[in-house]
Structure 1
Amino acid sequence: MSGVLSRLRRRQDAHSYYLTFAALLLSLTLVVDVVFHHNMDNRWFVWVLLVFCLSGAAATFAFGRRVPVWVGVVSVLVFLIAQAYFLSRSDDPASVIASVQQLPVVAFYLGWFVRPRLALALITTCVIVFSWVMAENPLLSVTGAIGTPVAVHGILGMLFCFAAGMFLWRRQMRVATVDPLTGAYNRQGMLDRLEYQLGKRSLNRVPLSVVVVDFDRFKELNDSRGHAAGDLVLSHTIGAWRSEIRSGDVIARLGGDEFVLVLPRANALEAQVIVDRLREVSEHPWTWGVAEAVPGESAEALLARADATQFEWKRVRRERQHREGLP
Structure 2
Amino acid sequence: KVVGKYGNGTRLSISRSGNTILLNGKKAGDKVYLTTGNSAPAFAVKGNRYRGQMKLIPSAWGSGVTVVNAVPMELYLQSVVPAEAVPSWKADALKAQAVAARTYAMYHKNGYRSSGYDVTDDTRSQVYSGVSSETEATSRAVRETAGEIVTYGGKPIDALFHSSGGGYTENSENVWGSVIPYLRGVKESYVGNPWTKTIPLSSFVRTMSNYGYGVGSLKGIKLSRLRIGEAHRTSDRGISGRVKTFTLIGKGGSRTVPGDKLQSIYGLDSTLYDLNVKGSNLIITGYGYGHGLGLSQWGAEAMAEKQGNGRDYYKTILTHYYSGTKVEKMY
Q: TM bucket by the smaller chain? A: under 0.3
Q: Which structure shows the bigger proportion of residues in strand conformation?
A: 2
Rg larger in structure: 1
Higher relative contact order (CA 8 A, sep 6+): 2
* Larger helix proportion of the pair: 1
When the two structures are superposed, what TM-score results if normalisation uses the length of structure 1?
A: 0.25
TM score, norm. by length of structure 2 = 0.25
